[in-house]
Amino acid sequence: MAAYRAADIARELMRAGHTVRVVMTHAATRLISPDTFAALTGNPVVVDVFDEPVPGQIAHIRLAQAADLVLIAPATAHTIARLAIGLADDMLTTLALATRAPILIAPAMNPAMWTHPAVQAHVQTLRARGVEFIDPTYGLMACGDEGWGKIADTPVIVQAVQQRLQRSRDLAGVRVLVTAGPTYEPIDPVRFVGNRSSGKMGYAVAEAALAHGAEVVLITGPTQLSPPAGARVVRVQTAQQMFEAVQAEFEACDVLIATAAVADYRPERTLPLKRKRTARSWTLRLVPNPDIVGTMAQRKGERIVVGFAAETDKALAHAQAKLRQKNLDLIAVNDVLEPGSGFEVDTNRLTLLYADGRIEPLPQMSKRECAEHLIRAVAQLLQAKRAQA
């Protein structure tokens, strides 16, 4: 039944004015003919990874690059598992790995399968990567079981596609400058002053901005992360280097989102050689680093400037003071002592504080989901500012 729903979804998307191209798994062809989708969409259906409808073009790369959005509907437990672990063993999974377009998944399966811990773990893995799910509904299944597992209704899926595509364009033409990761302030050629930031939050923000159509410049301190495809990356080590890089990029940007955990202090003097261990104590004198976001916000003009506050006590009070003192439009604060909300983890719990006094607490979620909420807030601020102008 869910396979036939896919034909209905394709038809309604065509009626909404979209070009629809269909990729099927071999298992799907046992339930519904590729000819059905070819007739509905007017485009050839690709099933095998070696299918090449257009001579001289690699089908999975061409489709991946041309797509504005990839909708997988219905998605079985097997397909979700293969996507989660990154397999590329058929045309669908190969396309999913090759595309940079947003991916929407509409699962359909037996209720016991949908609620199975393995399936839910794969779902959470994909959510953390920015894949969005159109959750199944409750009802009577073809097998006679009743529960959560029926594919969502066609209007719900079509609306989700429309909304996601709209988000993909709301930052088109906007240049977003993102800072991410820690800074390392050298003591000598071996030692440094740093912090525990992994850069995951900043990289997630860059990915979310790209998904909304923005041009992204990512200035990053030392991390082990792969930069998001499509972003222009500037790598730095120290706070001073990050400050100079931000200054160089700031005039051309529309939005600055400063997620980097910049070291507030650096050693007054960097030793040219490694200091050897002795029995004597050693006093290390530290001096302040530049206040990057504060300096930029004082000359922001029509730009949106967003800061982050990683706090250990009185989080809201400290963040509100920082918001006012630094002339920010928005600040995202988290308590790094809260489990699952600090450095070196994949989740976060942010509270968004706006310059107009609004406070928006978010539940704990993946950093990619936090980034999506933040970017939506930035898009709304930009829209409001342009309306006033």
User: Which uninterrupted H or E stretch holds 150?
Assistant: strand 146-150
Termini Cα distance of the chain: 51
User: Which uninterrupted H or E stretch holds 139?
Assistant: strand 137-140
CA 110 vs. chain centroid, Å, equals 30
Q: What single DSSP character describes residue 341?
A: S
Contact yes or no for 361/351 (Cβ under 8 A): yes
> Which residues share a beta bridge with 233?
218
Residue 279 exposed, middle or buried by CB count within 10 Å (0-12, 13-18, 19+): exposed
- The one catalytic residue among 56, 89, 142, 143: 143
Residue type (1 letter), 185: E
Cβ within 8 Å of residue 323, ≥6 positions away:
307, 330, 331, 353, 355
Residue 334 CA to residue 345 CA, distance in Å, equals 13
CA 79 vs. chain centroid, Å, equals 22
| 370 among known catalytic residues | no
Which residues are the active-site residues?
A: 143
